[in-house]
């Protein structure tokens, strides 16, 4: 039993939760995932089965795409709507043109500071574990690449957008950075991953429906 399953991850559970459910469904222990999605996020989560777990690094390196929604006027400690509110500011003056101009500033090769709720390590400990303790530390920026950042719907305070990017890009941090650029703050309310490398949301299987017939025998050299 070797291969991959492209799962449409539901909101409200961790990627490890999904792995545990797939293990039980397949009655097979050697199962992992290829790239974490936050509990808030939904969409493409590639599950590795059997010997395919050895391909983890290949999948992590793939480009990714997302549809997401940010909320103007609210800044939180986690850069998403579930976090503690740090600031609330007026957003009445923000226009569609301003959002589009801000998006252009964050397109291309840029430096991004990982959010405190990320899995990046600081002195051997994951940032999200420090964040749970109420600890905030300085984080060094990392170079990422944003190929496309497109406004899909402007209905203040909500702004829906699509994002195509390199590995290591944090969608929630994009929202936070755009909010700061606009002067009103912003946080993520929804994230849906639509693509990981060659795998799209169209082929993703509902978690409740997963079984052995959904295993793809993917050849990375093909």
Secondary structure of 163-190 as H, E, C letters: EEECCCCCHHHHHHHHHHHHCCCEEEEE
101 and 20 housed in the same domain: no
| Residue ranges making up the domain that contains 155 | 64-195
Q: Could you tell me if 92 and 17 lie in one domain?
A: no
**Tens digit of pLDDT for each residue in 145-197?**
999 999 999 999 999 999 999 999 999 999 999 999 999 999 999 999 999 99
> Are 17 and 111 in a shared domain?
no
Q: How do residues 107-135 score in pLDDT, each as one tens digit?
A: 999 999 887 666 667 666 776 676 676 76
Say whether both 34 and 72 belong to one domain.
no
Same domain as 202, residue 188: no
pTM for this entry: 0.92
* Helix (H) and strand (E) counts in the chain: 5, 14
Radius of gyration of the chain (CA): 18
Task: With respect to residue 85, please indicate whether it lies within any of the assigned structural domains.
Answer: yes
Rounded Cα distance between 44 and 82, Å, is 21
Residue 222 lies in a domain: no
Judge if 126 and 52 occupy the same domain: no
The number of folded domains in the chain is 2
Give yes or no for residue 139 having a pLDDT over 90. Answer: no
7 and 51 together in one domain: yes
Q: Are 97 and 165 in a shared domain?
A: yes
Domain check: are 95 and 133 in the same one?
A: yes
CA atoms within 13 A on the CB side of 216: 14
Q: Degrees (nearest 5) of the Cα angle 161, 130, 32?
A: 65
Q: Which residues are bridge partners to 171 per DSSP?
A: none
Are residues 157 and 70 both part of a single domain? yes
183 & 122 share domain: yes
Pick from 177, 167, 118: nearest CA to 146: 167
Q: In this structure, how many other beta carbons lie within 10 angstroms of the beta carbon of residue 133?
A: 8
Residue 91 counted as domain residue: yes
pLDDT value, residue 56: 87
Q: Are residues 188 and 204 in the same domain?
A: no
Contact 45, 20 (CB under 8 A): no
Give the CATH number of the domain where residue 162 resides. Answer: 3.30.2350.10
Candidates 43, 48, 77; CA nearest to 188 is 77
> Catalytic residue numbers?
38
Residue 221 maps to a domain? no
Give, as one character, the DSSP assignment of residue 86. Answer: E
Q: Which of 29-33, 52-56, 133-137 has the lowest mean pLDDT?
A: 133-137
């Amino acid at each position: 039993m070797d291969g991959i399953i492209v799962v449409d991850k539901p909101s409200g559970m961790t990627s490890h939760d999904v792995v545990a459910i797939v293990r039980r469904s397949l009655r097979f222990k050697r199962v992992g995932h290829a790239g974490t999605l936050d509990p808030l996020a939904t969409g493409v989560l590639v599950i590795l089965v059997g010997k395919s777990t050895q391909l983890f690094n290949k999948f992590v390196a793939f480009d990714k795409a997302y549809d997401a929604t940010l909320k103007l006027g609210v800044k939180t400690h986690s850069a998403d709507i579930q976090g503690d509110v740090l600031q609330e500011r007026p957003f009445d003056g923000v226009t569609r043109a301003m959002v589009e101009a801000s998006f252009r500033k964050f397109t291309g090769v840029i430096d991004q500071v990982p959010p405190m709720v990320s899995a990046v390590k600081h002195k051997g400990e994951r940032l999200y574990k420090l964040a749970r303790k109420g600890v905030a530390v300085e984080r060094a920026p990392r170079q990422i690449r944003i190929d496309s950042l497109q406004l899909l719907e402007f209905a203040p305070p909500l702004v829906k957008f699509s994002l195509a990017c390199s590995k290591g890009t944090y969608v929630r941090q994009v929202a936070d950075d755009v909010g700061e650029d606009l002067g009103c703050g912003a946080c993520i309310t929804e994230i849906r991953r639509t693509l990981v490398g060659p795998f799209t949301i169209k082929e993703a299987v509902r978690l409740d429906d997963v079984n052995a017939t959904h295993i793809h025998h993917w050849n990375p050299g093909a």
